[in-house]
Amino acid sequence: MIWAFLLLAASVAGASGVMAAVYHAKKIIPMLLMGAALCLVGAGEIDLRNSAVIHIAFVAIAFVQLGLVMYLTPYYVHIFRQGYGKAVCWGLGTAMGLFVSLSNHLLPVGTGQRLAAVCILLWLCWLAIFTAKSPASRPVS
């Protein structure tokens, strides 16, 4: 599992760089993303067998930070305010929160967390595709 957490952390750290360098997001967005990346590294390093409480705390903190990023991005990054940017950010953030809140109630804990992680991965993939297609990411000559 360490590789899954490390690769997810690397993706989140990359998103932090994209938000700062390409979209000139306010500092709160890259800081939350880097905090989430560090928590994901910690969750990968400390697995459930070593210390379940610390592992779960790292994952929970990372998910809260990523949920905040999805919620705040349309406010702090101008290009995501209009069109489907707001719908994607808020939709995936809401779905992530819903899956986490349904964990251990209507869904098994592992299933809810994995579905929430899928929402995070979809948001990261969407950000990468949006950035690749965006005129803001083109170098100025």
Beta-carbon contacts of residue 54 (< 8 Å; ≥ 6 apart): 42, 46
Q: Can you give the pLDDT of all 141 residues of the chain as single tens digits?
A: 889 999 999 999 999 999 999 999 999 999 999 999 999 999 999 988 889 899 999 999 999 999 999 999 999 998 898 888 999 999 999 999 999 999 888 988 789 899 999 999 999 999 999 999 877 666 655
Domain ranges of the chain: 2-132
The torsion angles phi and psi of 139, rounded to 5 degrees, stand at: -70, 145
- Count other Cβ atoms within 10 Å, centred on residue 99: 21
The reported pTM is: 0.90
Is the CB of residue 116 less than 8 Å from the CB of residue 100?
A: yes
In 1-117 the beta strands, taken as DSSP E runs, fall at: none
Q: Rounded CA gap, 80 and 35, in Å?
A: 22
**Adjacent-strand bridge partners of 103:** 107
pLDDT of residue 140: 56
Is the CB of residue 62 less than 8 Å from the CB of residue 34?
A: no
